């Protein structure tokens, strides 16, 4: 995956309530830092997914997401296909929901990005996508971490595309 253009993030939540809930659990929660990290994670995870980099994915995604990604990557490998993703830019990264229970905080982030996605067959012919078409993609990714953990790392635990 390559990236071009500039990114602009929306550092607000839809009505303030999700961020307020997170701050009730963690008064030191830094929304701007969280969203900057989420944007970076989005880029890194997309790149790792496209390149079939399971080791990177294992560090960043939870077991259910990893299992889904591994199945898809294995299918591409079996068909001798490659996925080429180019992230052109990101117009939104916005907290849309948050949940805190049983010692875990989950934050749902809506990403709106522009990408070029092409799947190529073994002989480099286009099997899916269009190398000249920029597509707007809206994804909702849910990140989670344990509130009492000394590690402050967030894991991607769910993905949903519109």
Does residue 3 carry a pLDDT above 80?
Answer: no
Judge whether residue 1 has pLDDT over 50.
no
Cα–Cα distance, 71 to 76 (Å, whole number): 9
pLDDT beyond 60 at 83: yes
Rounded Cα distance, 94 and 109, in Å: 5
Q: What is the pLDDT of residue 150?
A: 67
In Å, what is the CA distance from 23 to each residue of 20, 57, 111, 143?
5, 28, 22, 16
Q: How far apart are CA 9 and CA 111, in angstroms?
A: 9
Is residue 78 pLDDT above 50, yes or no? yes
Tens digit of pLDDT for each residue in 147-162? 877 676 899 999 998 7
In eight-state DSSP terms, residue 61 is: B
pLDDT of the residue at 162: 73
pLDDT in tens, 4-57: 443 333 434 344 578 888 888 888 888 999 999 999 999 999 999 999 999 999
pTM for this entry: 0.86
For the segment 87-104, what is each residue's pLDDT rounded down to a tens digit? 999 999 999 999 888 888
What pLDDT digit, counting tens, does each position of 56-77 carry? 999 999 999 999 999 999 999 9
Q: Which domains does the chain have, with CATH numbers?
A: 2-161 (3.10.450.240)
pLDDT at site 160: 94
With beta carbons less than 8 A apart as the criterion, state whether 60 and 48 touch: yes
């Amino acid at each position: 995956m390559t990236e071009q253009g500039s990114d602009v993030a929306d550092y607000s939540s839809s009505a303030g309530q999700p961020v307020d809930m997170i701050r009730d659990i963690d008064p030191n929660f830094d929304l701007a830092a969280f969203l900057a990290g989420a944007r970076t994670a989005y880029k890194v995870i997309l790149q790792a997914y496209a390149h079939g980099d399971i080791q990177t994915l294992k560090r960043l995604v939870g077991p259910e997401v990893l299992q889904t990604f591994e199945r898809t990557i294995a299918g591409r490998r079996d068909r001798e296909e490659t996925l080429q993703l180019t992230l052109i830019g990101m117009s939104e990264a916005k907290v849309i929901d948050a949940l805190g229970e049983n010692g875990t905080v989950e934050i749902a982030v809506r990403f709106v990005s522009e990408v070029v996605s092409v799947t190529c067959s073994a002989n480099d012919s286009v099997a899916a996508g269009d190398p000249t078409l920029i597509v707007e993609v809206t994804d909702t990714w849910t990140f989670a971490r344990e509130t009492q953990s000394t590690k402050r790392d967030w894991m991607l635990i769910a993905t949903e595309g519109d």
